[in-house]
Structure 1
Amino acid sequence: MEFLINRPADVKVLRDAKIFTVLMCDERGVAQVFSRMCREVWYSNGNDRLLVAYGKVNRYCDLRRNRWRAMLVRNYFNSPWSFISVMVAVVLLILTLLQTFYTMFGYYHPPSA
């Protein structure tokens, strides 16, 4: 549980997902309870499945492109409408570039009649 609950924000996520309810105090108090409860727990030499999974998650989160992607999705694409509007803008940009190309191509290479 110590790996799951480190900050008050972690407690809030678990409470919002209805994994558990906080009845005794605020999120900071619950995070402190879990960190104190697991203070003296020692793990094996790395063969523990939880430690292996925790290491994989940390390696995944430490990659720069994964952090950037998460920030992009969280800040800019948090609704389907924002994604749709970006796709429409990209299509319009491509069509504008094609129109410009064909206009210039017809000017510099007129058809021979």
Structure 2
Amino acid sequence: MAMKVEKNHSRIFWFLRKCTLTMPTLYIEVFTELVFRNLIAYEQSYRVDPYVTSYARAMNMLIDTDEDIAKLVRSKVIVNHIGSYEEAANMINRICKEVVLKHLYYAKEWEQLDKHFKDYWPKKIVKLKRTYFHSPWSIIALFAGIVLFILALLQTIFTIKSSLSK
């Protein structure tokens, strides 16, 4: 149940650095909720370290809707065997209801992620992607525009050079 934050530092494009949360694969089955609830009850009643409770809370913090489950399935963090993504999201959100957690075991990792995504450049890059690059056609149009701009600039330079040399 270990979660780890890895930062990819690029020397040239420092503003494009990535922050990745790695975690083990969770197989969502019919009895997943029952198993989690029993393990959480055990941790709550016998005063052991709350590893399972922290993991369930972390997954609850990551998942709100069926779209979140779909993203986690695509990234191979979750393997969904119970059917719809909405059903899986509801099951994950129900696990930690009315559970008291005094200390999140993954607090350090969450602080690192929070610090990274509240930074200036990651917010701006995400906004740029969502606004202008939401489809492959917009990226193709950008490259076509850059090529046309460079060609127009070269044509202007050669026209000025040829008129000066006369």
Q: What TM-score bracket applies, with the shorter chain setting the length?
A: 0.5 to 0.7
Name the SS for the 2:60 alignment partner.
Answer: coil
| 2:164 pairs with 1:97 | no
> Which stretch of the first structure deviates more once superposed, 2-11 or 16-25?
16-25
**Aligned pairs for 1:32-111 within 5 A:** 32-39=90-97, 40-42=99-101, 44=103, 48-60=107-119, 65-71=124-130, 72-75=132-135, 76-77=138-139, 82=140, 84-99=143-158, 102=160, 106=163
| 2:75 pairs with 1:17 | yes
Kindly name which structure, 1 or 2, has the bigger radius of gyration based on alpha carbons: 1
Higher relative contact order (CA 8 A, sep 6+): 2
Name the SS for the 1:25 alignment partner.
Answer: coil
How much does 1:22 deviate? 1.5
How much does 1:84 deviate? 4.2
Gaps of 5+ in 1: none
Q: Calculate percent identity across the aligned residue pairs.
A: 15
Distance 1:25 1:61, change over 3 A: farther
Paired residue type of 1:34: I
How much does 1:26 deviate? 0.9
Name the SS for the 2:78 alignment partner.
Answer: coil
For normalisation by structure 2, the TM-score amounts to: 0.46
Distance 1:57 1:86, change over 3 A: same
- Superposed CA deviations along residues 43-67 of structure 1, whole A, max 9, x for unmatched, are 538x921330342244148975233
Gaps of 5+ in 2: 1-58
| 2:87 pairs with 1:29 | yes
Q: Which has more strand, going by share of residues? A: 2
Give the distance between the partners of 2:102 and 2:120, measured in 1 at CA.
22
Name the SS for the 2:62 alignment partner.
Answer: coil
